[in-house]
Amino acid sequence: MIMVASLLADDPKLALQHARAAKDRGGRVSVVRETAGIAAYHAGEWKEALSELRAARRMSGGPGLVAVMADCERALGRPEKAIELAREIDVTELDPETRIELAIVVAGARRDLSQIDAALVELERVMPPKTAGGYSASRIFYVYADLLAEKGRTADAIEWFTLAGRADEDELLDVADRLKELS
């Protein structure tokens, strides 16, 4: 399990091999199955990730990693399933960051279905204040701006990309490039 954590960012395929070995030894432990699911997700093994995360969720109860599970459904070409999965849980049980992450995934599923207005509504439901900072705020502002740009609402998109840039304390997003594209 330690090897999985240490390898996940640099070599997700090798991390997955270690996670599978851990699962062979401790497959009845929810944290082992969750770790295997996360490793599979990072390695792009969506079906395996979904299976492992479902198993972990059955073992431990609660909403689990529902945003990751919904994202796996999207990656498997099943955006309707992603939306359905998100609707099965009580979002009030989720912390604010997880709520935002789930909204981003559901908005992406709506986008996959060409439901841009519905995608915007998904994000608006959990939108933090415009003054918010940090990773979650920057990501939701960015996705919201991207959807606005897709709708042709350029002025609004520029405003939200600017907010995303302010919130992106670690400069992880390509906000400057997106603003150049829109100007």
Query: How confident is the model over 86-99, as pLDDT tens digits?
Result: 999 999 889 999 99
Over 80: is that where the pLDDT of 170 sits?
Answer: yes
Provide the whole-model pTM.
0.92
> Cα(first)–Cα(last) distance of the chain, in Å?
47
Assess if residue 98 is contained within a domain: no
77 sits in the region (left: phi over 0; alpha: psi -120 to 50; else beta) called left
Is 19 part of a structural domain of the chain? yes
Number of domains in the chain: 1
Cα torsion angle, 37, 40, 44, 47, sign: negative
> Is residue 76, in this structure, part of any structural domain at all?
no
- Tell me whether residue 55 is in a domain: yes
pLDDT at 64: 74
Domain contains 29: yes
Q: Which domain holds residue 4?
A: 1-60
Query: Residue 42 maps to which CATH number?
Result: 1.25.40
Q: From CA 142, how far away is CA 2, in angstroms rounded? A: 33
Whether residue 43 is contained in a domain is answered as yes
Please check whether residue 31 lies inside any domain of the structure: yes
Q: 87: part of which helix (H) or strand (E)?
A: helix 79-87
Is the pLDDT at 4 greater than 80? The verdict is: yes
